[in-house]
């Protein structure tokens, strides 16, 4: 079976984990955590990065930091992972699901204003596959209506929009290091902070509501409970694993990009087969190789065909406005025409760093055979 994803491993992970074990201090917040955070700050041009145990945790921290409360409405695409919405639902707020653009599967900036009302407090653009919404327009809207922007950049480490790093647009942004992402530590994430006024509160929140980080820096002589918080910090073992990945990001990306480009050069001239133009024309981190089929029936046939060849191609996400919890907790914008159509037709081909050449060739042959 050719798996849809195999987690990237650089080969340095075990060595760094042994290092941590030798120190006898394996809880979070040590040297490897700091080293990871420094690299992430550079990759996102953010003022401060805090490692978390998932992107979900970083989104939950973001909702807490923004003091989101019952009655507040948050604009986001319906086409996203559940955590984008759940983080705000946990605070009693209402996600308002807005359509995506057919060009790049990201929030359609032209459809945002229609969903703003007196309860709206923020916008959460999701940078799909390293592409992103019209952030100029979204930033202008946020400014005009006094709304916060939290970027869900779970899939988008290292990407830019018009020369500005993704992760540096919102007051906060979130990253994932889940095993399915370009870089991973099994489960992991980061909260990137651009609004300097939020840095100290975020550190406190991540450390169970205590000023433990200040204590470790020698700024207070004991630490205690100072605010609301939870346990959002990953252990030093995860940080050591992640450092091995961050340190080798160029190698990981280069090998992923090679597979992506091979797919593109082999498939993009096929009639009947649609690869969204933005993925071909714009810069991204090769997180996803998408094919858009004619309709849902053809999508199922393609997935079944690939499966019969031992290839695990997949689809995602089920739009949140159509899910059981989405209907219960969220509100849907009137026009979700793209969201109601595109996700039903999307197929993601297997793609990961260090994918064997013969596996990539088998994937291409199967797609070509299906469309022949
Ligand atoms: C857009 C988006 N946001 C959030 C998440 C959650 O990430 P994690 O698994 O690190 O919590 C994902 C996971 O795939 C995602 O795709």
Test site for ligand 1: of 52, 56, 317, most ligand atoms within 8 A of the Cβ = 56
- Confidence grade of residue 273 (pLDDT, cut at 50, 70, 90): confident
Mean per-residue pLDDT for 332-358? 97
pTM value is 0.97
Ligand 1 pocket, 355 CB below 6 A? no
Number of other CB atoms surrounding residue 11 within 10 Å: 9
Q: Output the CA–CA distances (angstroms, integers) from residue 68 to 64, 119, 219, 324, 356, in the order listed.
A: 6, 11, 30, 23, 46
Distance CA 154, CA 82 (A): 12
Ligand 1 pocket, 126 CB below 6 A? yes
In this structure, are residues 361 and 266 in contact, taking their beta carbons and an 8 Å threshold?
no
Number of other CB atoms surrounding residue 25 within 10 Å: 12
Q: What percent of the chain clears pLDDT 70, i.e. is strictly above it?
A: 100
Q: Which of 367, 40, 63 is nearest to 32 (CA)?
A: 40
154 C-alpha to ligand 1 centroid (Å): 5
Mean per-residue pLDDT for 86-101? 98
For the CA of 128, the nearest atom of ligand 1: 1
Q: Output the CA–CA distances (angstroms, integers) from residue 208 to 211, 224, 229, in the order listed.
A: 9, 10, 4
- Confidence grade of residue 355 (pLDDT, cut at 50, 70, 90): very high
Test site for ligand 1: of 128, 154, 181, most ligand atoms within 8 A of the Cβ = 154
């Amino acid at each position: 079976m050719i798996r849809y994803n195999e987690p990237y491993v650089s080969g340095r992970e075990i060595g760094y984990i042994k290092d941590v074990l030798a120190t006898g201090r394996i809880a979070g917040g040590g040297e490897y955590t700091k080293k990871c955070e420094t690299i992430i700050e550079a990759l996102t041009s953010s003022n401060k990065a805090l490692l978390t145990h998932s992107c979900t945790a970083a989104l939950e921290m973001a909702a807490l930091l923004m003091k989101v409360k019952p009655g507040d409405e948050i604009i986001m695409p319906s086409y996203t992972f559940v955590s984008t919405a759940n983080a705000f639902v946990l605070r009693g707020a209402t996600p308002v699901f807005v359509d995506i653009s057919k060009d790049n599967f990201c929030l359609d900036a032209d459809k945002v204003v229609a969903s703003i009302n007196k309860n709206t407090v923020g916008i959460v653009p999701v940078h799909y596959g390293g592409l992103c919404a019209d952030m100029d327009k979204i930033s202008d809207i946020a400014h005009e209506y006094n709304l916060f922007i939290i970027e869900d950049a779970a899939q988008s480490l290292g990407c830019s929009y018009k020369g500005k790093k993704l992760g540096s647009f919102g007051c906060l942004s979130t990253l994932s290091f889940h095993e399915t992402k370009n870089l991973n530590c099994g489960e992991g994430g980061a909260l990137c902070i651009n609004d300097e006024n939020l840095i100290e509160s975020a550190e406190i929140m991540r450390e169970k509501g205590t000023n433990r980080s200040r204590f470790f820096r020698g700024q207070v002589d004991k630490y205690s409970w100072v605010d609301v918080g939870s346990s959002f910090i990953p252990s030093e073992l995860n940080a050591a694993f992640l450092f091995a990945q961050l340190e080798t990001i160029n190698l990981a990306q280069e090998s992923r990009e090679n597979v992506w480009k091979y797919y593109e050069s082999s498939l993009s001239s096929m009639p009947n087969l649609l690869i969204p133009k933005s993925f071909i024309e714009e810069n991204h981190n090769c997180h996803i190789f998408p094919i858009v089929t004619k309709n849902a029936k053809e999508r199922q046939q393609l997935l079944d065909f690939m499966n019969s060849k031992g290839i695990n191609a997949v689809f995602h996400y089920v739009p949140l406005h159509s899910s059981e919890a989405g209907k219960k907790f969220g509100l849907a914008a009137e026009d979700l025409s793209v969201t109601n159509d595109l996700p039903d037709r999307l197929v993601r081909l297997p793609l990961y760093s260090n994918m064997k050449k013969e596996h990539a060739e088998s994937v291409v042959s199967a797609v070509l055979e299906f469309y022949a």
